[in-house]
Structure 1
Amino acid sequence: MRYILSLFVLFVCSGCNSEESSQPETLEADVVVYGDAAVGVSAAVQAARMGKSVILVSQYGHLGGMTSSGLGWTDIGNSRILGGISREFYHRVYLHYQNDEAWVHQSKDDFPKKGQGAPTFNDATELGSVFEPKVAEMIFDQLVEEAGVTVVEGRLDLDNGTTMEGQRITELHLQDGRKVAGQMFIDASYEGDLLAAADVTFTVGRESNATYDETVNGITLPVNKNNITKPVDPYVVEGDPESGLLPDVNPFDEADVGKGDHRMQAYCYRVCLTSAEDNMVPIAKPENYDEATYELLFRAVDAGYRGQWGAFYKFSPIPNKKTDSNNNGGISMNKIGNNYSHLPPEHPDYWDWTTLSHEEREKVAAIQRDWQLGLIWTLQNHPRMPEGVRKQYSGWGLPKDEFVDNDHWPYNIYVREGRRMISDFVMTENQILQKEDFPQVEDSVGMGAYTMDSHHVQRVVYKGNVRNEGDVQKHFNGKPYPISYKSIVPAEGECENLLVPWCVSSSHIAFGSIRMEPVGMVLGQSAGTAAVLAIDGNVSVQNVDYGKLKAQLIEDGQELY
């Protein structure tokens, strides 16, 4: 990368012969952050600003995670939750776009004034809620460089990820053999890979409603938003059940509604498209394009389906004639069911995204990428698409000036949910809704405010047709809710020097609100602060003095209640 390793590199060499000197190097810092997403950057920058040496392990070689991989139409919910580094990021976005030179392909005056529940550029708060991917990455690069964070490219060894002494991590192991030693570790990965390597208790999938006395967790009736609203036959040969179900379509039993399962909400790439002809790479037909993959789409279109609100995916505008194109409707950017096996969990060949190797994840991500590129190409070009549909989607391509070393495609797939830690305090819908009859958060390290939001989890046969199941968009009064410190540290008796600001201890549906990128930045900063206080106090993360933590967070601008 563009950062120089210098102060914290130790070569494991007890002698001077060539065999010993060829051993993998060990890197060392006070605080080690695994994960280069916005949450990891915030954690690393905060710890460095508090005077500690910090290594940030970057799996992708580009900082920012989803925030710099296409998610530029920000899901905030309520800007009051922003403080400290999160507010600083969106303030720097605002300042960048005050410069006329930032507007290359359109005028600022022509850009929409309203974003996702907030002004695009708010002159009163001086916050910008929309931005280009390359601008987000630039700001994250600036933050880590200014703070003196050392960035190391590498991926965790998923088979042997840590060296442990009792309940403490002493080193994490990278795939290439290098080791990274530290006093405190922060798992900022979307998957929760480091917490699993440290043998911290976690779950994957959806709990039942009964588990935490919730109402919108677990399996749902397949009647919610982003659905297929026209009758579509579910069988390979229409009308013939003996021919089998279409790929990724499951049977469905209404008796299962409210029960838990192993399935995960769908992933996608937040595709950055542009209509600026001088900055456009046309969408090419994927080399492995298979028309049969889109049979569900063709059948739905033949039945009169035209997406949700008249579109098959979103064209949420970001500056310079670009989009943040997210899933929209029943057949869209999400390849539902692509991130887990359709075998039962007890089957020896069962897998989900969290159980895969890095290389296997890349293969699954490539299938998702080709689905989305193929979808756009199909809508733009395929003769089975009505002329009006082809015309509607023509004139858009990939931007030449984004993701220039990755064929103009985002670096990160949107891992909307991976592992979720199970700690001594589990955030549930009851804490999100701040119900008085349930345990209250008394040790806030940040706030969330977004809708409890799950994308669909599976396609099913419902009343003889294909429907999508799992979408939940549980709105509440928008009042920000506090997030417990106990939900970002392992349970008492488990790992003593690990903080988990992303894969927090929460139910599936509560995570659907917490998982927003601005909240991740908030919790990342709080985790970085707690890591430093644990070092200075020579205590476990479970025993950090909350009074001192709260005082430091407030001093650094965090919003807690």
Structure 2
Amino acid sequence: MNKTLIFSVFIFVFLPFFTFSQSYQADIIIYGGTSAAVTAAVQAKNMNKSVLVVSPDNHLGGLSSGGLGYTDTGNKSVIGGLAREFYHRLYLHYEQDSAWKWQKREDYGNKGQGTPAIDGANRTMWIFEPHVAERVFEDFVKENGLEVHREEWLDREKGVKMQGGKIESIRTLSGKTYTGKVFIDATYEGDLMAAAGVSYHVGREANAVYDEKWNGVQVGVFQHGHYFQDSISAYLVPGDASSGLLPEISAKAPGKNGAGDQRLQAYNFRMALSRNPDNRVPFPKPANYDPARYELLARVYKAGWTETFDKYDPIPNLKTDTNNHGPFSTDYIGKNYDYPEASYARRREIIKEHEDYQKGLMYFLSHDPAVPEDVRAEMAKYGLAKDEFVDNGNWPHQIYVREARRMVGEYVMTEHDVLGAKEVPKPVGMGSYSLDSHNTQRFITPGGFVQNEGDIGVHPKQPYSISYGTLIPKREECTNLLVPVCVSSSHTAFGSIRMEPVFMILGQSAAAAASLAIDGGKAVQDVDYEGLRKILLEEKQILEN
């Protein structure tokens, strides 16, 4: 056999078994595809830094483009910088007649949270369709020449190379290596932060940890409407414990009030539903659909509950951002506890379990005779929006990870900061929303009835500042990482901070700090705050009242 033929055989037979690693380098490496990742990348580019966005997601924007169109914005006056630019661009889109395909603009109604959806005076639009938000993020990418590597998943086991207390490089499961001077973890899960050995917390701290009131177990505390008001039996045969529990109820004791635990507030999908017959897809029946798992909801209806459509919030073009509402709704309570630390495979299972539960719920509401006839008739007007999430069966591509890991960094924000009892040092942005936690568990009361626990909604008196220390790890753990999503905060404080506008604000501020750290050859903990403050104010960030 001649040498050419031997070489050809080698290429054909053996080369497929070899993996060729690809290496990339930039001043700032951003891991994540959330809204915070995009604003961070734009700010880095504005400060003349090379930047790479390494995104495990194909679609950019996280929840902001994943169904959360009726956004929890709180006090709009404290939303500045690129976050405000995002909402301004949405305004410009909806000023065009072509934006109103399925509904006349004058029929929209302009309902928003606290202010009109379309704020003409400030040229902002606060309520929007998912695909429009994604287009804005993609425009940010295109206009700024951002390099985005999509569907690149961090090797969480061995993919973070540390040297001298710094992240030197990260490697993804595809074999790509990314070397940078400063790294930003902009994921909802905090995977890079955790893989770098940075301290974090999962679940609720005991109230005693930070001398808080609204952290920890909160049995008997009902601050929204998401609890069982009537005595509804937890058992298959009402009143008969020997018959066993109904589905979706935990047999475990809820715990002592104020105690910490590893439970997480519930996740769900924020569905974009359509009322336009020409843009509506009937609710699919999941292959594993079982109406018995929704018996609790049937009993809620039988007890006289009538609030089914209270959180079918209108977004443009006869669509909704449909959220959890009531004692039994789209939140899949108690089914996400292992998500933050889970493997990618297990996370996919959890996401699929949530999808099946929620699709089954919508099918149940549409078809089951246990649902009041008037509710079924109204549900018949809805379906999945045909022009949203078109590559995912019209189902949101992002589950609502309301809370996962939270860093324990240089400064821990607590409810005292949010509620105005403390002066926050070194502000880099502001929040204003309530301490907002969805339910964390569904349990049996001593009387054999079902109840939810974990729902909190305490409003601050005024907007509050967020400290730079919440974005950075402890010096001894890592000196070139910033974390604008899984920020250093208690569970109860994170309930307010965790809003999408705030993530965009903090993403931009994190990138400004990263750029200054590079310019000065300093650790992120040593960035000159006054210099950072000056830049943020120039970028029209709002830092304090």
Q: Does 1:376 align with 2:374?
A: no
Letter in 2 for 1:77: G
Structure 1 match to 2:209? 211
Q: Residue by residue, what CA displacement relative to the aligned partner does 1:181-231 show, whole Å, maximum 9, x if unpaired?
A: 111100000011110000000000001111111111110024513112232
Q: Residue by residue, what CA displacement relative to the aligned partner does 1:370-419 show, whole Å, maximum 9, x if unpaired?
A: 11111111111112222122112211111111111111111100000000
Report how far residue 250 of structure 1 moved: 3.2
Q: Residue by residue, what CA displacement relative to the aligned partner does 1:491-536 show, whole Å, maximum 9, x if unpaired?
A: 1211111000011110101000000000000000000101111111
Q: Does 1:488 align with 2:471?
A: yes
Letter in 1 for 2:450: V
For residues 255 and 397 of structure 1, what CA distance do their matches in structure 2 show?
39
Whether the aligned pair in 2 keeps the contact of 1:230 and 1:304 (CA below 8 Å) is: no
Q: Residue by residue, what CA displacement relative to the aligned partner does 1:350-380 show, whole Å, maximum 9, x if unpaired?
A: xx11111112111111111111111111111
For residues 18 and 389 of structure 1, what CA distance do their matches in structure 2 show?
60
Structure-2-length-normalised TM-score: 0.94
Whether the aligned pair in 1 keeps the contact of 2:25 and 2:180 (CA below 8 Å) is: yes
The 10-residue stretch of structure 1 (315-324 or 370-379) with the greater mean CA deviation from structure 2: 370-379
Letter in 2 for 1:432: V
Whether the aligned pair in 1 keeps the contact of 2:42 and 2:144 (CA below 8 Å) is: yes
Structure 1 match to 2:505? 522
- Structure 1 residues 242, 62: closer, same or farther in 2, change over 3 A? same
Tell me the matched-pair count: 527
Q: Residue by residue, what CA displacement relative to the aligned partner does 1:85-104 show, whole Å, maximum 9, x if unpaired?
A: 00100000111101111001
The 10-residue stretch of structure 1 (413-422 or 105-114) with the greater mean CA deviation from structure 2: 105-114
Whether the aligned pair in 1 keeps the contact of 2:215 and 2:492 (CA below 8 Å) is: yes
Structure 1 match to 2:178? 180
Structure 2 match to 1:267? 267
For residues 18 and 254 of structure 1, what CA distance do their matches in structure 2 show?
56
Q: Does 1:52 align with 2:52?
A: no
Whether the aligned pair in 1 keeps the contact of 2:111 and 2:314 (CA below 8 Å) is: no
Structure 2 match to 1:72? 69
Report how far residue 238 of structure 1 moved: 3.1
SS of match in other structure, 1:250: coil
Structure 1 match to 2:300? 300
Whether the aligned pair in 2 keeps the contact of 1:312 and 1:331 (CA below 8 Å) is: no
Match of 2:103 among 101, 106, 113: 106
For residues 280 and 234 of structure 1, what CA distance do their matches in structure 2 show?
36
Alignment of 1:152-163 (within 5 A): 152-153=149-150, 154-163=152-161
Letter in 2 for 1:472: I
Q: Does 1:505 align with 2:492?
A: no
For residues 514 and 121 of structure 1, what CA distance do their matches in structure 2 show?
24
Q: Does 1:314 align with 2:297?
A: no
Q: Residue by residue, what CA displacement relative to the aligned partner does 1:126-167 show, whole Å, maximum 9, x if unpaired?
A: 110011100000000011221121000111122223011121
SS of match in other structure, 2:208: coil
For residues 190 and 254 of structure 1, what CA distance do their matches in structure 2 show?
26
SS of match in other structure, 1:57: strand
Please list every run of at least 4 consecutive aligned residues from structure 1 whose deviation after the TM superposition is greater than 6 angstroms.
Answer: 17-21
Structure 1 match to 2:452? 468
For residues 321 and 397 of structure 2, what CA distance do their matches in structure 1 show?
14
Report how far residue 333 of structure 1 moved: 0.7
Whether the aligned pair in 1 keeps the contact of 2:442 and 2:451 (CA below 8 Å) is: yes
Whether the aligned pair in 2 keeps the contact of 1:313 and 1:327 (CA below 8 Å) is: no
Whether the aligned pair in 2 keeps the contact of 1:26 and 1:179 (CA below 8 Å) is: yes
Report how far residue 313 of structure 1 moved: 6.0
Structure-1-length-normalised TM-score: 0.91
Structure 2 match to 1:228? 228
Structure 2 match to 1:539? 522
SS of match in other structure, 2:53: strand
Gaps of 5+ in 2: 1-13
For residues 500 and 203 of structure 1, what CA distance do their matches in structure 2 show?
14
SS of match in other structure, 2:283: coil
Whether the aligned pair in 1 keeps the contact of 2:221 and 2:456 (CA below 8 Å) is: no
- Structure 1 residues 20, 321: closer, same or farther in 2, change over 3 A? closer
SS of match in other structure, 1:36: coil
Structure 2 match to 1:354? 340
Whether the aligned pair in 1 keeps the contact of 2:436 and 2:457 (CA below 8 Å) is: yes
SS of match in other structure, 2:274: coil
The 10-residue stretch of structure 1 (443-452 or 363-372) with the greater mean CA deviation from structure 2: 363-372
For residues 187 and 420 of structure 2, what CA distance do their matches in structure 1 show?
28
SS of match in other structure, 1:273: strand
For residues 394 and 334 of structure 1, what CA distance do their matches in structure 2 show?
22
